[in-house]
Amino acid sequence: MNYEQLKERIFAEIEKNRAELTALNDDIADHPEVSGQEYETSKKITELLKRHGYQTEYPFAGLDTAFKAVYGEDQHKYKVAILTEYDALPEIGHACGHCLSGSISILAGLATRELQDELDTDIHIIGTPVEETEGAKCEMVKAGVFDGYDMAIMVHLYNGNLLTPKLQALASFMYEFHGKAAHASSSPWDGFNAFNAAQLMFHAVDMLRQHSKPDAQFHGIICNGGEAPNIVPEEVTAEFYIRALDKDYLQELIKKTDACAEGASIATGTTWSKYPTAEVYDNMKANATGLDTLREIYEELDLPLNGDTEKIFGSSDAGNVSFVCPAFHPCLQVVDEDVAIHTRGFAECMKSDRAHQGLVSGAKIIALQILKIFSDEEKIKAMKADFAAK
């Protein structure tokens, strides 16, 4: 069958399963579960996939709310992972749109499952929870989950259409300062003030900003500032996020941030230590062949590329996958330009007619990306060559 015939089959399957996935999206939107607690959500998704003939491994990769779904014999030449997110944010629910993006991934999987023989490609659906906090994909990458895949893809919802968002690498650490308690009035000279150390670190990091590249970002908060005003603070903790557009530059910034902690510790007579509060997120590795293919798809679907390509999107554990296999994270507009992600306004739009249409458009983007690349050996070779390049 030629491309147009296969495309028609995909679109027919999307229409056939559209109502069921719309209902799934709306149900997940109404019952948000935060990162690591997606028990009911993941159960609903895996039960749906079982009804459609998938073999599911659940839990998966040592994660209670992760899953892997396989349709058929799983013996084809190539393998694709459709990444599926479904965790919500505290208080504001699906303000990142994971109810919809997860449903898009499932619909795309259903639309392509019968093409596996035609494309000689196994198309797996991988449930990747905990994106908003600790990054399940990071753990999966470390465990080798994506090592055998030729491509991974998902769609993220946004207030504009983008072939790929500008993702920053991200590291987060808890810095601990250890001092010595003393009476703050009668004998402050007997103490070593851990809060002063944390203050100095913040000032040092603020000074570091002007000597960092424009894409570098530092965010910090005091988590524990002491016990009482009349006690010299003995133990103080501060959590910092450090970001950059390149994962190698991020490592430089981490060393410089550590130096700020070290200097603050020396100046105040305290000691310091740190530990990571989440996995390190990588930036997104670009793949020209795959992005050119996505551009063709957006044009075919009459989706204008109206997103701001220079605006920093934030960070995602999808970036880590992109350094293991070619991975794609296109963005689909489902709200007006003035509605930002991670807001109540965005969450309120996840059951709108526009969101329901986005379910269809998003599934088409994923399915056509798989079809266009894995029906063309030259595209596969070019995509792999792009990935192998530095």
Q: For 320-362, what is each residue's pLDDT tens digit? A: 999 999 999 999 999 999 999 999 999 999 999 999 999 999 9
Task: Kindly report the CATH class assigned to 169-276.
Answer: alpha beta
Predicted confidence band at 27 (pLDDT cuts at 50, 70, 90)? very high
Domains 3-167+283-388 and 169-276 fall in the same CATH topology: no
Res 133: pLDDT: 86
Render the burial of 21-43: b for 16+ CB within 10 Å, e for the rest. bbebbbebbeebbebbbbeebbe
For the segment 197-224, the average pLDDT, to the nearest whole number, is: 97
pLDDT class of 390 with cuts at 50, 70, 90: confident
Average predicted confidence (pLDDT) for the chain: 97
Asked if residue 307 lies in contact with residue 295, where contact means CB atoms within 8 angstroms, the answer is: no
User: Mind listing the pLDDT tens digit for each residue in 90-125?
Assistant: 999 999 999 999 999 999 999 999 999 999 999 999
Give the start-to-end residue ranges of the domains of the chain.
3-167+283-388, 169-276
pLDDT at 39 over 80: yes
* pLDDT grade for 374, boundaries at 50, 70 and 90: very high
pLDDT bin (cut points 50, 70, 90) of residue 58 is very high
Instruction: Compute the distance between CA of residue 177 and CA of residue 22 in angstroms, rounded to an integer.
Output: 50
Rounded to an integer, the average pLDDT of 271-295 is: 97
Which pLDDT does position 1 carry in this prediction? 82
| pTM across the whole model | 0.93
Beta 271-276 vs 327-328: how paired, if at all? unpaired
> Which band of pLDDT confidence, cut at 50, 70 and 90, is reported for residue 220?
very high
Quick one: average pLDDT of 63-82? 98
The predicted pLDDT at position 134 comes to: 84
Q: Which long-range contacts (CB under 8 A, 24 or more apart) does 349-352 make?
A: 350/25, 350/29, 350/94, 350/97, 350/99, 350/100, 351/25, 351/26, 351/29, 351/30
Each residue's pLDDT tens digit, 142-185: 999 999 999 999 999 999 999 999 999 999 999 999 999 999 99
pLDDT band at 197 (very low <50, low <70, confident <90, very high): very high
Is the distance from CB of 198 to CB of 185 less than 8 angstroms? no
Q: Structurally, what CATH architecture does the domain formed by 3-167+283-388 represent?
A: 3-Layer(aba) Sandwich (3.40)
